[in-house]
Amino acid sequence: MARPAPSSDVVSIDPRTDTVVEEVAPATSDTDVARIAARASAAADSFGRTSRAFRAALLRAVADGLESRRDEIVAVADRETAIGETRLNGELTRSVYQARLFADAIEEGGYLEAAIDHAGPTPMGPGPDLRRMLVPIGPVAVFGSSNFPLAFSVPGGDTVSALAAGCPVVLKAHSSHPATSKLCFDILTGAAATAGAPDGVLGIVFGQAAGAALVADPHIKAVGFTGSLSGGRALLEIIERRPQPIPFYGELSGLNPLVVSPGAAAARTTEIAEGLFTSFTVSAGQLCTKPGVVFLPRDAAGDALRDQVVRLANASDEFTLLNSRIRASFFNISARIAGAPGTRMAAGAGRAVDRIRVAPQLFELQAADLTDTVLEECFGPSTVVVRYSSPAELEAALTRLPPSLTGTIHCTDDELDGFEPVIRYFEANSGRIVFDGFPTGVLVSWAQTHGGPWPATNSLHTSVGVTAVRRFLRPLTWQNAPAAVVPEELQEGYTAIPRRVDGALVPATSTVAATTSADASVAAPSTA
Amino acid sequence: MARPAPSSDVVSIDPRTDTVVEEVAPATSDTDVARIAARASAAADSFGRTSRAFRAALLRAVADGLESRRDEIVAVADRETAIGETRLNGELTRSVYQARLFADAIEEGGYLEAAIDHAGPTPMGPGPDLRRMLVPIGPVAVFGSSNFPLAFSVPGGDTVSALAAGCPVVLKAHSSHPATSKLCFDILTGAAATAGAPDGVLGIVFGQAAGAALVADPHIKAVGFTGSLSGGRALLEIIERRPQPIPFYGELSGLNPLVVSPGAAAARTTEIAEGLFTSFTVSAGQLCTKPGVVFLPRDAAGDALRDQVVRLANASDEFTLLNSRIRASFFNISARIAGAPGTRMAAGAGRAVDRIRVAPQLFELQAADLTDTVLEECFGPSTVVVRYSSPAELEAALTRLPPSLTGTIHCTDDELDGFEPVIRYFEANSGRIVFDGFPTGVLVSWAQTHGGPWPATNSLHTSVGVTAVRRFLRPLTWQNAPAAVVPEELQEGYTAIPRRVDGALVPATSTVAATTSADASVAAPSTA
């Protein structure tokens, strides 16, 4: 193995003190990236053919492994991210739940979209026997995010989506929590080994250059990425230079506009103020669903609501951000927003902060003064309040925003009709529209969507929730195939999954346990 | 309207005589492209909110309109393409059937992937009410192919997929059949007007520059393209330069390898020879599923099979290709293949052909001589026979091929186990694997897949069959939304579509007719 120079070692930094705590791993060399990707590719066929019961058992082993080392994981993640043990415990719970939910989902089997069209006459002549289902796309590169060291990183949604689909995963460890990444990776590989998964189903690389080499590697067949728009653009450019382009699933950016109607501001002033303050400061405002621009009416209720948020912000503790790069960015973007014409700093100005911690900030301006400068996404405990004086002014202001992951509206029942243009704007320009609540907190479930038109994401899919598995699957049809060849899910008489047979939906009438090996710990190819 | 110079008019050419028959339309100016795309965008919201019953009625009106002018359409398409009235009648039947099948599918409603998670406790705390379904992506640009002037052009699969999804369509008329495109477009717009669809739901542009401008236009939200790899690459490059990238669904290329085992060659010599000859010469070999490389055993049965194909080819009529560009390409690529080391022309050499028509060609070489030169896709009645002497040699040869839309294998039951590596290769490198048949003829149905890894297509989706609709949809989730806001399909108690409620699949228990307006000809928004 070609060892890089020590200067390129990946180190773990404590953001509370801005000091290096340990060297975690050498930056992975190009040679090693190629070797790891090739191992993943070699494992893809056998892993892709494991039964759903086998992969469900693997995911549950992952969940158990994470749960069994909860305290250790939370401690190292907190040391590397300063996120705090309460939220990190919640994030671990979420990661564990997520792995188990995907296990349930692949056992249920609807995700396969299995369909059988029997041979027979058609208006175009005799039709063949066609059997279709989704199959794994192949090795997936997963880039974790800085702000979710667990739920959107090594043991996160992209990883379990890909494993559920039957795809090997090569992780790019995030530079902001490499030790957490390494610990979780070891737990995942332990679970995979215990479950009997093929060697190469999980791999990890360290260092930015290794991540770029990974995306360029011909063995990689899809990329999952959660991070900045610029980071996503850089990976997309690498993909565009590949001889064979591959799908890129980037969760990239979001202002997450939140609109409060005059009626809601008057009727629920305190409730909205407290919810809003929590929503833009939870996790130090470092959430991709943070409401980054808030539209309040230009009236007394809007003033009162703003004043309450200002009081909460000024009374708040300071926050430690994830790393020095994000902190520098927070200060730079904040300065630009503060300097925008017509913009004032309603909270946070002059707050004493030390070299490390930052205070919550609230900027305020009139809708007429809205410019692109104040619409720059600012990771951290900060939001921009825009005051509007009429529905027309609000609607015009919204059209200046880029699409987001979410759009939120607080209004009374009486105002609903009048706010229809706002609702339609959010339906067209986000992946989730929230009523009388707050966008932060993304439940992992069947009906969730965490996506949206570019630059929120560039895909037609969600990265949170069960349907995230679809990103790593592609359809395959067997025509007039001998029964010995087709997967068990497409055999005549298989009843453990919902299928579409000759166009009609046929629900499952048995469970997977009845038709698969009782010993799910042994990898059993699902096809001949 | 800025009229381009007459020299840029789009003309209709008769390929049987290589002469201009008529001027069809001026090349669309950039100004007009922008105007047409803006009209589509203006129609997107209202059309996207029409009921499924409304869009089903629209698709059926399209089908009826095409059917009612069958003779006229077939005549002009034949004059422009020389495809022949028999196949064009079949293609029209297919287009009509396709429109009606999509109408049935959207009425059934499973394509919406509707899901409801009711509010309640979760391991991460109280969960909100989440309601998800797929919604239209917005205006779609559709580029038809030269070789299917109906089924993959103006009234083709991409158009009806997009309309079914609720997306306006802007067509790029193919330069090889502009008159057919214009006639079909007029029929479609007539059907849309009769159905009461919003103005702007259908648009058309003429000329290559207009197509490029269309893909760059910010109002366009997805592109469907059937054509060459180089043409697809050119559109992808335009997309990459957009500030907001959009999905590109290209059906681009395919060698469609066909493997015959020793046992099958011996047992079904004549059947396979006749089927193969038909498959590579039907529609003058201008099908994206044409078997372009055929692996025959190096034995007496393989010789006999080849000899029969050679006899059929040498006795065959000549064919008129779609246009002069394709004809020139056919001769150029054929010459390169003929000149490849170890390659001989087994049929077609020295055949007398006139300036327009071409004879079927069969090239032959040993697997050891396989090079990229003979693996160039050659549109037209030509195929390359590769002789193999062992399973190992066959498997090694297959790894030299790019992925394809299809892979075909002829073998006996006894040989199935030995051919497992070939089957696995095809499963990993195509979208449809055909047993003991031929890849041409793609049934429009639920279980069809017309796609495959790059360079076959670049997507995770099919462009033929009902699931093609998924390409033009994206998920949207409503969180804690008032009932007045969510679409009818996500209302409590709605029973006309299958849904996933709290994780469990709930089949439909009523039909769409029971819950939608009896007068489906009036556009009724499906949401408040």
Q: How far is CA A307 from CA A166, A296, A373, B446, in A?
A: 52, 12, 24, 58
Q: Tell me, what's the ipTM?
A: 0.95
Residue B308 near residue B270 (C-beta atoms within 8 A): yes
B90, B449, B508 member nearest A132 (Cβ): B449
The pLDDT assigned to B513 comes to 55
Q: Which residues make beta-bridge pairs with B319? A: B358
**pLDDT tens digits for A490-512?**
999 999 999 999 999 999 998 86
pLDDT value at residue B515: 37
| Spatial contact of A105 and A473, defined as CB atoms under 8 Å apart | no
DSSP string, A284-329: GG--TT---EEEEESSHHHHHHHHHHHHHHHTSPPEE-S-HHHHHH
**Mean pLDDT value of segment A297-303:** 98
A266-292: pLDDT as tens digits: 999 999 999 999 999 999 999 999 999
- Predicted local distance difference test score (pLDDT) of residue B510: 86
Name the E strands within B227-381. Answer: 248-251, 258-260, 293-297, 319-320, 344-347, 357-358, 361-366
Mind telling me how many Å the CA of A289 is from chain B's nearest CA? 14
Chain A positions in Cβ-Cβ contact with residue B428 (cut-off 8 Å): 45, 138
Residue B351: its pLDDT value, please?
74
Best probe of the B interface among A117, A124, A235, by most B CBs < 10 A, is: A124
Are residues B117 and A448, on separate chains, in Cβ contact within 8 Å? yes
Query: For residue A521, is pLDDT > 70?
Result: no
Considering only residues 96 to 115 of chain A, which have any Cβ-Cβ distance to chain B shorter than 8 Å? 97, 104, 108, 110, 113, 115
Query: What is the per-residue pLDDT across A66-112, written as a single tens digit (0 to 9) for each?
Result: 999 999 999 999 999 999 999 999 999 999 999 999 999 999 999 99
pLDDT tens digits for range B233-291: 999 999 999 999 999 999 998 899 999 999 999 999 999 999 999 999 999 999 999 99
Residues A398/A422, Cβ–Cβ less than 8 Å: yes
Structure tokens, B522: 């009036």
- B119 interface with A at CB cutoff 8 Å: no
| DSSP character at residue B443 | -
pLDDT at A84: 96
Q: Cα separations (Å) of A344 from A280, A334, A349, A380, B156?
A: 18, 11, 9, 18, 56
pLDDT for A352: 59
Tokens of A79: 């040391």
Q: What average pLDDT does chain A have?
A: 93
Residue-wise pLDDT for A337-362, tens only, equals: 999 999 999 998 777 567 789 999 99
- CA–CA dist B105, B444 (Å, integer): 12
Q: Is B368 on the interface with A (CB under 8 A)?
A: no
The letter for the amino acid at B70 is R
Q: What is the pLDDT of residues A398-432, one digit of tens each?
A: 999 999 999 999 999 999 999 999 999 999 999 99
Per-residue burial over A158-170, b if 16 or more Cβ lie within 10 Å, else e, is bbbbbbbbbbbbb
At B126, list the tokens. 């109280």
State the DSSP code for B370: -
Polymer length of chain B: 528
Distance CA A140, CA A164 (A): 12
Eight-state DSSP code of residue B389: S
Q: What is the pLDDT of residues B188-238, one digit of tens each?
A: 999 999 999 999 999 999 999 999 999 999 999 999 999 999 999 999 999
Statement: residue A527 has pLDDT above 60: no
Strands of A118-255, DSSP E: 120-122, 125-127, 130-136, 140-143, 169-172, 202-205, 222-226, 248-251
Q: Which residue has the tokens 């193969």?
A: B276
Contact A280, A312 (CB under 8 A): no
- Judge whether residue A519 has pLDDT over 80: no
Facing residue for B437 by CB, picked from A128, A245, A455? A128
DSSP-assigned letters across all residues of B301-338: HHHHHHHHHHHHHHTSPPEE-S-HHHHHHHHHHHHHHH
CB pairs < 8 Å spanning A and B: 233
For B471, nearest residue in chain A (alpha carbons): A460
Beta strands at A473-479 and B258-260: parallel, antiparallel or unpaired: unpaired
Q: pTM of the prediction?
A: 0.95
- B117/A contact by beta carbon, under 8 A: yes
Contact B110 A462 (CB under 8 A): no
Is B72 among the catalytic positions? Answer: no
**B80 part of the active site:** no
3 state SS of A84: coil
The single residue listed with the structure tokens 């059997």 is A131
How distant, in Å, are the alpha carbons of B11, B175, B258 from that of B325? Answer: 15, 11, 27
Mean pLDDT on A294-304 = 98
DSSP conformation class of A431? S
Say yes or no to pLDDT of A6 above 90.
no
> In this complex, which of A45, A110, A475 lies closest to B424 when CB atoms are compared?
A45
Chain A residues with beta carbon closer than 8 angstroms to that of B413: 482
Across chain B, what does the average pLDDT equal?
A: 93
Residues B403 and B406: their CA atoms lie apart, in Å, by: 8
Bridge partner list, B478: A433, B131
Q: Is A474 close to B458, i.e. CB distance below 8 A?
A: no
B433/A244 CB distance under 8 A: no
Give pLDDT, residue A349: 76
Tokens of B60: 């059926």
pLDDT digit string (tens) for chain B, length 528 residues: 344 444 579 999 999 999 999 999 999 999 999 999 999 999 999 999 999 999 999 999 999 999 999 999 999 999 999 999 999 999 999 999 999 999 999 999 999 999 999 999 998 899 999 999 999 999 999 999 999 999 999 999 999 999 999 999 999 999 999 999 999 999 999 999 999 999 999 999 999 999 999 999 999 999 999 999 999 999 999 999 999 999 999 999 889 999 999 999 999 999 999 999 999 999 999 999 999 999 999 999 999 999 999 999 999 999 999 999 999 999 999 999 999 999 999 998 767 567 789 999 999 999 999 999 999 999 999 999 999 999 999 999 999 999 999 999 999 999 999 999 999 999 999 999 999 999 999 999 999 999 999 998 877 999 999 999 999 999 999 999 999 999 999 999 999 999 999 999 999 998 865 434 434 333 333 433
pLDDT at B440: 96
Tokens of B4: 């381009």
* Residue A341 burial by Cβ neighbours in a 10 Å radius (0-12, 13-18, 19+): exposed
As a whole number of angstroms, the distance between CA A25 and CA B61 comes to: 64
Selected residue of A446, A486, A511 to mutate for chain B interface (largest B Cβ count, 10 A): A446
Residue A5 pLDDT level (bands cut at 50, 70, 90) = very low
Query: Which residues of A are annotated as catalytic?
Result: 251, 288
